[in-house]
Structure 1
Amino acid sequence: MSARRRPADIPSDLNGPPLTTTMPASSTPPSPRSPFLPTRLEALLISIYPLTLFLGSVFSTLSATTRSAPYSASSQSHPPEFAPSYFAKKKNIFNVYFVKVGWFWTTLAFVVFVLTNPGLGVPLRPYVTRRRVAASLRYAAVTAWWTVITQWFFGPPLIDRGFRFTGGQCEMLRDAAAREDMSDAREYFTAAACKAVGGQWKGGHDISGHVFLLIMGSGLLWFEILPALTRAEGLRDGRRVLLSDGKVASVAVEKQAEKKEAANQTQEQVTAAGVKIALGVAALMWWMLLMTAAFFHTWFEKFTGLLVAFAGLWVVYFLPRGVPALRAVLGMPGV
């Protein structure tokens, strides 16, 4: 019977180099993720928007019916009599009563969620709490961005200013005599004023206001309700923040350092009504975003609408994570 070999008998080339205290540890934790970047769940959520625009645009290119239908570049849509789908008509009921007043539905869903979520305050009680104030300030900031882009910015909104800056102008189409005198038509600076006198925007880059509105509205609702949904499902909150001492920590660390406002806020449960309404509005916005991608605007107009919407959402929901002073004002959803 052969003797059992001792460890010292094993050739050194199989053992590898001896461990020493000067060798780097193999279990060194990776550097923390930047607080300005989304979590994996947020990244998946955000990726839905460009993917939706891509799929809708691909459909409009590959669909023989849509591709063969006449398209008006001035109105960014198919003429009603040639529309390849009910959703390709600007006067479809969802476009008229939902998208055209999309910020009303966004505001309604947001208010219901704020008043019914126990994580923000006593449900259905108009008490002023720190979290409700912070949520309202975030809503006001997003609304301000929506306003300056599509409604007013010390005069015409930025969409109309961008259109004129890229060479666009108002062309009079209803009156033949007016068409001969284009110098007057150039004075109509906004799209609303142009349409009011029977003209159309032509010649410039028109950022898709529909894409911008639908992404901004649904994005606001998603970022507000996402912490409540993850908490209800027992998922870990992967958001990271920059603390005042310069260290990067998880949201859970910052929450442990806070005092609870009231005993009934210790359990962050989801109130079904507020979350369901917000999810319903966000889902319908996603569907109309898909329809917009399939039947309205050019690829580049939809892409710029996406970029402008993402810029506003990043400033309100991601920038505060790395700027403690801004976070002290706007807060963070669920914190």
Structure 2
Amino acid sequence: MTTRRQTTKFEVPIPSRANGSTKPSDMQPTTTLEESPSLLNSPFLPTALETLLLSLYPLTLLLGSIFSTLHPSTRAATYNPIAQAYDPSTAPSYFARKGNLFNVYFVKIGWFWITLAFSSFILTHSSLGPPLRVVGTRRRWQAGVRYGLVTLVWVFVTQWFFGPPIIDRSFTWTGGKCEMIESETLAARREKAGMSQAEKAFTHAACKTIGGQWRGGHDISGHVFLLILGSAMLWLELLPALLRMEGLREARRVLTKDGLVRSAAIETDADTAEGRKEGRNMKIPEETSLGVKAALGVAGMSWWMLLMTAAYFHTWFEKFTGLAVAFLAVYLVYFLPRAVPAMRRVVGLPGV
């Protein structure tokens, strides 16, 4: 017994021979093609190239975690899960010390470097409009909106969420609390005076300030969250520009307001035959290449520090939850708008 293969209709943006336009009014009639995962990507899902890029993050965490489990230097070292650090005298690597320069001056102030790299790319790259011009450049404004949303997520998760940040709230929700590191006599004096300082410390930073330690709860890895969120944002902004908006742009699918799934290229304001040819052949101007190099440098350093974090800090589950929260934020800002036209009009798509 045979069954009929299901077919799905979607509109293919074929430019008019007269002027090369791919506006909806210039579309040729809808073409019916057999359903194929490589051809009819869902607007809710990343493309094959984006999937490959995003898969590097869990693979990196897996590689670092396996290394920390199997390598003799880490197995022989003394790791304090409460302090989330190795004993300085037995640290298996320079990167296993919390005080290493890359951790102190890059990861600890990571959002500063992410912001600097993002701004240098967005303000200078010609794919978003004339360099250093903000007024009248829709792509640049929408990139700023995307950055603002991602930054808001970073603030809510790691800095402030109507009080303690989400990381600290999740720690206390799972039974964690701040415990003082002090003598029994001093602790007894504090209890007589009323609620102890430790009981009043609702954030990790406040707990450290009074000499306490977070104990008992689940600690989402802030390092993993920051490094994945920031570098993934940079990569998703960079890819359309590095590919000159060819290939990736056509591969992405969006759901239009008329209910059809189409190529994201239909919404670009420069999708002409001449523009595509120019995009393939155009060399990135020297004055704008600095932004690309800065973004690539920060994204590359973020990956390296993610590998070091995976190898030397946090438990498997803490790293997984850091990855999950970062991926959720990236999905909401960069992938969900493809299926929500109203949202896409505000945040846009990189390269479109």
TM tier, shorter chain?
A: 0.7 to 0.9
2:18 maps to none
Contact 1:80 1:89 in 2 (8 A): yes
Name the SS of the counterpart of 1:241 in structure 2. strand
Residue by residue, what CA displacement relative to the aligned partner does 1:303-326 show, whole Å, maximum 9, x if unpaired?
A: 000000000000000000000000
Letter of the aligned partner of 1:248 in structure 2?
V
Partner of 2:167: 159
Equivalent in the alignment of 2:324: 307
> What secondary structure sits across from 2:257 in the alignment?
coil
CA RMSD of aligned residues (A): 2.4
Q: Does 1:30 align with 2:35?
A: yes
1:318 counterpart residue number: 335
The one of 300, 306, 309 equivalent to 1:289 is 306
Give 2:56's match in structure 1, choosing from 23, 32, 48: 48
Aligned equivalents of 1:57 and 1:252: distance in 2?
40
How many Å separate the matches in 2 of 1:57 and 1:132? 39
Aligned to 1:122: 130
Q: Is the 8 A contact 1:121 1:265 kept in 2?
A: no
Pairs within 5 Å for 1:15-26: none
Q: 1:210 aligns with which of 204, 217, 223?
A: 223
1:230 aligns with 243
Which residue is 2:351 aligned to?
A: 334
Aligned match of 2:255 = 242
Question: TM-score, normalized by length of structure 2?
Answer: 0.82
What is the identity, as a one-letter code, of the residue corresponding to 1:333? P
Q: Which has the larger radius of gyration?
A: 1
Go from structure 1 to structure 2 and tell me whether the alpha carbon gap of 1:175 and 1:125 turns closer, same or farther (over 3 Å shift). farther
Alpha-carbon offset, residue 174 of structure 1? 4.2
CA–CA distance in structure 2, aligned partners of residues 179 and 254 of structure 1: 65
Distance, in Å, in 2 between the alignment partners of 1:264 and 1:273 is 24
2:153 aligned with 1:148, yes or no? Answer: no
Q: CA deviation at 1:273?
A: 1.3
**Does 2:83 match 1:70?**
no
Gaps of 5+ in 1: 1-22
| Paired residue type of 2:209 | A
Query: What is the total number of aligned residue pairs between the two structures?
Result: 308
Query: Structure 1 92/25 Cα, relative in aligned 2: closer, same or farther at 3 Å?
Result: closer
Match of 2:97 in 1: 89
Shift, 1:165, TM fit:
0.4
1:196: which partner in 2?
Answer: 209
SS of the aligned residue for 1:171 comes to strand
| Identical positions, percent | 58
- What's the TM-score once normalised by structure 1's chain length? 0.86
Kept in 1, the 8 Å contact 2:5–2:34? The answer is no
Contact 1:171 1:179 in 2 (8 A): no
What per-residue deviation string (whole Å, max 9, x for no partner) do you get for residues 292-312 of structure 1?
A: 000000000000000000000
1:119 and 1:267 in contact (8 A); partners too? no
Give per-residue Cα distances to partners, 1:76-122, cap 9 Å, x unaligned: 12122221100000010000000000000000001000111111121
C-alpha contact 2:338 2:344 (8 A) present in aligned 1: yes
Structure 2 unpaired stretches of 5+: 8-31
8 Å CA contact 2:41, 2:252 repeated in 1: no
- 2:128 and 2:140 in contact (8 A); partners too: yes
